A and B are shown apart, each in its own frame.
Chain A
Amino acid sequence: MLTFEEPAVSINSITKEFGDHTVLNKLSFDIPRNKITTILGFSGAGKSTLLKLILGLHKPDQGSIEVLGKNLSKFRPIELREFRQNFGMLFQYAALFDSMTAVENVYFPLNEFTSLSMEEMIDKAKKLLISVGIKDISFDRIPSELSGGMRKRVGLARGLALDPLIMLYDEPTTGLDPITTKMVNELIVDTAKKNKDRGMTSIIISHDVKATLRISDYVAFLDRGNIVEYLPVKEFEKSTNPLVQEFINL
């Protein structure tokens, strides 16, 4: 298993059960800082549960998770909520607030957590929207007036609003057409490059193997609650693990 100095996320022997079903079973691995790491796996492998554990939305039944050197289980609920400002997240279907315009969605976290004036917030929101390729004509549109790809861009801009140290992507290309998929993948790489100087880590949950091999630095393969392979992307492609090979060749 790969180990890193000062990893962004360190998962130490965690187990998570829902009723009789063990979703994650004594899972341990580290996610490096300032890299794009993708967690691949079949549906039901425990990817989304793992994401929620990293975010501190679920607590592990056993084991511990350290994020940016802090043990999540030692936080009080209010501290954990504050700590989550280190995360940005792009949801599978963007999860934009449907009563707000694109600009309002992006400045929403700024309004909640910073003391910026309204003008400064709007200005920053517009810059973020432009940086993800949204044109000013769409700034005042509500999510239902935006295409799927544009919603993802706005969702990404919102995720980046508080300059997060860890950016999470939950199935970012699920349900998109090939052209939009390519655009979203390019956006992820571009975002990682733009934020490399401040050490932003990107974690992607996906089952899109082609995109994963194209954009990731490291790939972990999750199966039945355990990491069965975890390698730099070039080596992952050549993995001899039969499950990985089956997944790649699907």
Chain B
Amino acid sequence: MILSKLKKFVEIIGAMTIENIRGIGQIWLFGLRFFYWIVKPPFRFKLLSEQFYFIGNKSLFIITLAGGFTGMVMAYQTYFGFKLINVDSLVGSVVAITLAKELAPVLTGLIVAGRAGAAMAAQIGTMKVTEQVDALEVMGIDSYQYLAVPRIIAATFALPMLSITFLFVGNIGSIVVGTVALLIDETVYMSKLSEFMFIGDVMQGVIKATVFGFIIAVVGTYFGFNVTKGAEGVGKGTNLAVVWGMILVLVVDYFLTSFLVQVL
């Protein structure tokens, strides 16, 4: 009895694992199509600029808000830890490096996955269930090229810019809290910042954000194109786009970090 239940449990786990691996494989193949279609005319710059505006410009407020408060909180948390060992002058550099390498790209990725990734899945999913995607195909327009390519390009370029904005605003927040609230000497704060922070640290974040932008858009559009069963399907596709977007950002972040710390 227990053995059969255990067998069934293992079977369920196995089936779920296979299904998820297959899903990741399908997302990967879907993403690869981008490299074929990006070089094929026509190039729809108007659609690209619309997506750039939506993913980049419309995310600015939430990114600025998140960046500012993250920098401020980080400054506080680091200060009280560092003060115990009398290295509170390093608060600025530690916050800046953490933001540049990790927090700015990852938090930007998570925010954009929740905002723009979900919107991509919902927009394309709705177009799918209302036959608008079929209408494109019937007209002789490749729906992937028309709908997915501009979104993927826009997200891939917008994410690093948003991440740099996050980093910049985060540092402003950290400087304000560090020098005004925590009374760290401004000159010491800035000198330590320039002593320990390098361009490679910023580059790490920019590379990560670029990869995350690509992943978020591929996942968002993939789940949009795979929507079935009407409104319920659109909701499910949107949910999956956010969940998988976030999971992949976190998982890929680990592998990118392990690679980038060796080369930069």
Taking beta carbons and an 8 Å cutoff, which residues of A are in contact with B? 55, 57, 81-85, 87, 89, 91-93, 95-98, 108-109, 112-113, 162
User: Does any Cβ of A come within 8 Å of B135's Cβ?
Assistant: yes
Taking beta carbons and an 8 Å cutoff, which residues of B are in contact with A? 42, 126-127, 130-132, 134-135, 137-142
A113 to B132, CA, bound (A): 18
The answer to whether A93 touches B131, judged by C-beta atoms less than 8 angstroms apart, is: yes
- Residues from chain B with a CB closer than 8 A to the CB of A81 are 140-142
The answer to whether B140 touches A113, judged by C-beta atoms less than 8 angstroms apart, is: yes
- Residues from chain A with a CB closer than 8 A to the CB of B137 are 57, 84
Q: How many A-B pairs fall under 8 Å by CB? A: 45
The answer to whether B140 touches A89, judged by C-beta atoms less than 8 angstroms apart, is: no
Q: Which 4 A-B pairs have the closest CB atoms?
A: A95-B131, A84-B140, A95-B135, A81-B140
Min distance, Cβ B260 to any Cβ of chain A, angstroms: 38
- Residues from chain A with a CB closer than 8 A to the CB of B130 are 93, 95, 98
* Cβ-closest chain A residue relative to B141: A112
Min distance, Cβ A107 to any Cβ of chain B, angstroms: 12
With known contacts A92-B131, A93-B130, A112–B138 Cβ distance under 8 A: no
The answer to whether A89 touches B135, judged by C-beta atoms less than 8 angstroms apart, is: yes
A173 to B134, CA, bound (A): 19
Min distance, Cβ A81 to any Cβ of chain B, angstroms: 4
With known contacts A95-B130, A95-B132, A89–B138 Cβ distance under 8 A: yes
Min distance, Cβ B227 to any Cβ of chain A, angstroms: 15
A217 to B139, CA, bound (A): 26
The answer to whether B135 touches A91, judged by C-beta atoms less than 8 angstroms apart, is: yes
A112 to B140, CA, bound (A): 9
- Residues from chain A with a CB closer than 8 A to the CB of B134 are 57, 91, 95
- A sample of 18 inter-chain contacts (CB < 8 A) reads A57-B134, A57-B137, A57-B138, A82-B140, A84-B137, A84-B140, A87-B138, A89-B135, A91-B131, A92-B131, A95-B131, A95-B135, A96-B132, A97-B132, A97-B135, A98-B126, A108-B139, A112-B42
- Residues from chain A with a CB closer than 8 A to the CB of B126 are 98
The answer to whether B139 touches A85, judged by C-beta atoms less than 8 angstroms apart, is: yes
* Cβ-closest chain B residue relative to A84: B140
The answer to whether A84 touches B138, judged by C-beta atoms less than 8 angstroms apart, is: yes
Min distance, Cβ A161 to any Cβ of chain B, angstroms: 9
